[in-house]
Structure 1
Amino acid sequence: MTGIYEKTSSICIAAWVTGVGLLGCGPAPESDVEDTAGVSQQALTEGAPLTTHDASCLRLQDQNTWSTYASYMTPVGPAVGLPGVLADLNRVGPMLTSSNRPSAVGYKGGFRWNDGDMATSDWIPQALTAGVSGSTNVAIASWHYGAASPDKGVRLSVADISDMSSSAVNYRHVLMVRPTSSGNFTTVPIHGGGLAWFGNYLYMADTSQGMRVFDLTQIRQVDTSTTCDTQIGKVGSVWCAYGYKFVLPQVSAYVVPSTITSPCRPKFSFLGKDTRGTTDVVLSGEYCNSSDAQCPYDGSTPGLGGRLYRWPLDSATNRLKTVNGAVTPERAYIMNEPNVQGVAPIMTTTATTSYWLSSTRYSGALFKVSTGASRTAYLSGSSQWARMPEGMHATGSGTNLWTVTEGYNGSTSPASGGRVVFYVDQAAVD
């Protein structure tokens, strides 16, 4: 997850379309978040506790294409939903073994992708989320397209993880698409660095804009003839998706208004799911490093100013809670950690001030962070965590912490950096 963020002053200068006076964005004391207009940047220290951040200048606007996009996809069919994909899994991912797995504290199990997916340079794993469809436990991973034009955007791997004691996990790739007109669609050419699954909706990070939302009930089957290998959308009398059998269509998006600028305007590098509080939230965060992806609040310590946001969810609809079409974060933090690629809530506590962060710092690390203590680090260099970890998912029972890895130096060996999906005992890293 990379990007360049313009460094500007530490005072939030944005105004928003509601006309409401907006406070400054900056670090704020835990007990005094609302009285921090014009706060200057504070010094940042790697590994320090989470710093409460004033995000009162920030809004997301619902693009409200829910019904329009759904109607655009009506001619495309048939609609099979997630159950249709789970009934037609066509790839086999062997289980990891004691001699062929990454080292990780509390390791319990995992799988690798098939040989072609382990070796391809066209697609790169990024995000992970999980949930239940009927009686099937499902993991969903996103892959970013890294090859030359045309940009095929983002694909998902839908994997049946119901029986992790078997010899392999079955999975299938699904192409993500955006409807463009009645009976037509195109790819979603973004990084796809974060996923969060609530009900029938799959939220995906859109780095520079916000979050896109996809409807799992609207997964549709398309043509797989050779005609479609290089085509997208309506082609003659059929619908194509670069050879993929199923497409998952976007239904809406929550975007940062163009009037909100840096330093208030964040990046959406990764997402997470938190169900610990009275209100479920979508977590979003910023990837920052010390070179090409510095963030607005880095100050004199580039790479540490990445922010973590909590976006409240309406439990009745599984959409973000909006007022006049806008949603505001219920809380925000500066992470004081570099190269963060994923987040998961620490489910063994009801407190919403503690998290696990997945980082490619030190070639791979898991950080346990909170507002009340310095981090606890599990490092790949000390055989405590996998190399190049990306998105994460913590099971609501407080049992397992899942993660997906991007791959390290082109290795196809799971034990030495090859792409894997694995899970550990949450208590072991708590």
Structure 2
Amino acid sequence: MKHRGRHRRRRRGRALRASLAGTALALTAAATLISTSQAAGGETPGALSSITSAGELRELGLRETLTDGTELHSLADEMGGGVGVDEVLRSANHAMRAEGDCFASEKQNLPAEPEAARAYCWEPADAVDDTWVPRSVTTSRDNQVIVAGWTHSADDDRAGTDDEGLTRVAFVDARDPASLRYRWVLLVVPKADGQGFDGLRSRLGGMAWYEDKLIVTARGPESGGRQDDSLYVFDLARFLRADMTDSEVIGKVGDGWSAHHYRYVLPAVAAYSPAAGGGCDARDNDGVPCFGSLSLDRTATRPSVVATESFRPGREEPARVWRYALDTTADRTGLLATTGRESDVAATEAYRTEATGVRGVLSHGGRWYVGQAGEGRDGHDTLWRQDEDGAKAATCAENKADEKSGLRSYACWGRHTASLSYSPETDEVWTLTDPIPERVLYAVKLSDVDGTLD
């Protein structure tokens, strides 16, 4: 029997879908001009400042914990064996809407400068589901698959439901740019005793896909101002099939397996936690940072992931950005590279940016791209390109007439964007937006980003 909370969510979803068209028309009529007063990026954050102190770098260190390989194999055997990405994509049962089919309210979240190369919107039921929030994005190297991470965010009247805090990932088949389809997969963590798995309950702020590994940021519950903060790694050759898709349970049910109505689960093969211990602190930029966004950099000396820190809502703190090298040895490809102590991971490069409200970070060719949240509900974000010499961003076309008066607006990026991801095969920077009813997944050419910098 399904929970009453599930029926309430369905009724709410129908009501929201019914009002979506009206909202779209209203927002179309109230087209918003981008002004200097809306630009969180109105003042340049300046150059990146290198962090070289051994003590500060130590705060960025991680400790690796690997899932027992024997237990993983045993779990896979019990569930009928692992499957790969191809099977998941073949079973895609949701369709994305092309930009022409997006509502006006959704398209208003697209960037003003430079324009998006392409954009898509989610199936209506997902576009208006206020219990799930899109947080992160990454792509396969060839850009044939797009992955978006969503986190369940229960409000007060639904607190305590079985969904609360769960994480799911949309694997999007992007081989046909005119017809994108996706399948939901539940992220899980194998139990220590090898007896099944639990749902990963966390906030997916960032994602990176390297070879056969998917790396995600994960944040646990807060206690005394500090949080359990981690990276989790998933093997994309180890999807497991649940045979009881009509059950709310997560784990074994009698002789079968359930994944809270989802067909596939992806179990973690490794986790990384702060080496300093005690969790992270989201109140300021001192001490162990809480992970915000995450992305892959293939252009570094060694393939690496770059990260930025996240703060408690309402805290306007300048952020740190840093990187970890990835392992490329045959049996550890896609895991983080460890130091002399086998389980320790050190940051190989770190900087401070004066940008506040950082939502996404990307590093490519020695340049860092930092997405900064806009001011207010209608403010567009700013995408800065930073290095140790300074910072640049596009000037919004609507406000170039104000340059003679000294007024400038750099708030040209999309509204309410999340993490960033770069696809080298197509030269596209991907991101997504999270508010209802304005959720859109879009790509901008990196060459266009660089070409519009002031």
Query: Per the shorter chain, which TM-score range?
Result: 0.7 to 0.9
* Structure-1 residue corresponding to 2:288: 265
| 1:370 partnered with 2:377 | no
* Structure-1 residue corresponding to 2:45: 47
CA 1:46–1:318 in structure 2 vs 1: closer, same or farther (change >3 Å)? same
C-alpha distance in 2, partners of 1:114/1:378?
33
How far residue 209 of structure 1 moved from its aligned partner, in angstroms, is 2.1
**Normalising by the residue count of structure 1, what TM-score does the alignment of the two structures yield?**
0.77
Give 2:389's aligned amino acid.
G
Q: Once the two structures are superposed, what CA deviation does each residue of 1:28-73 show, in whole Å capped at 9, x if it has no partner? A: xxxxxxxxxxxxxxxxx86111111134323211112252552352
* Structure-1 residue corresponding to 2:370: 357
Check conservation: 2:245, 2:263, Cα contact below 8 A: no
C-alpha distance in 2, partners of 1:318/1:190?
21
Check conservation: 2:275, 2:344, Cα contact below 8 A: no
**Normalising by the residue count of structure 2, what TM-score does the alignment of the two structures yield?**
0.73
Gaps of 5+ in 1: 1-44, 295-301, 412-417
* Structure-2 residue corresponding to 1:312: 325
C-alpha distance in 1, partners of 2:323/2:344?
14
* Structure-2 residue corresponding to 1:285: 308
Alignment of 1:106-255 (within 5 A): 106-132=115-141, 137-147=144-154, 148-149=159-160, 150=162, 151-164=164-177, 166=178, 168-180=179-191, 181-207=193-219, 208-226=228-246, 228=247, 230-255=248-273
Check conservation: 1:272, 1:344, Cα contact below 8 A: yes
| 1:421 partnered with 2:441 | yes
Greater shift after overlay, 254-263 or 105-114? 254-263
C-alpha distance in 2, partners of 1:225/1:264?
43
CA 1:378–1:142 in structure 2 vs 1: closer, same or farther (change >3 Å)? farther
Q: Which has the higher helix share?
A: 2
Check conservation: 2:244, 2:256, Cα contact below 8 A: no
Gaps of 5+ in 2: 1-42, 220-227, 399-408
C-alpha distance in 1, partners of 2:297/2:93?
31
C-alpha distance in 2, partners of 1:69/1:318?
20
Q: Once the two structures are superposed, what CA deviation does each residue of 1:101-139 show, in whole Å capped at 9, x if it has no partner? A: 32441321021100000000110000000005xx87000
CA 1:79–1:398 in structure 2 vs 1: closer, same or farther (change >3 Å)? closer
Between the two proteins, what is the percent identity of the paired residues? 24
* Structure-1 residue corresponding to 2:58: 57
How far residue 328 of structure 1 moved from its aligned partner, in angstroms, is 0.3
Check conservation: 1:93, 1:112, Cα contact below 8 A: yes
| 1:386 partnered with 2:414 | yes
Q: 1:395 aligns with which of 393, 407, 423?
A: 423
Give 1:173's aligned amino acid.
W
Check conservation: 2:214, 2:235, Cα contact below 8 A: yes
Q: How many equivalent residue pairs? A: 357
How far residue 190 of structure 1 moved from its aligned partner, in angstroms, is 0.7
Secondary structure class of the residue paired with 1:116: helix
| 1:336 partnered with 2:354 | yes
CA 1:69–1:257 in structure 2 vs 1: closer, same or farther (change >3 Å)? farther
Check conservation: 2:290, 2:311, Cα contact below 8 A: no
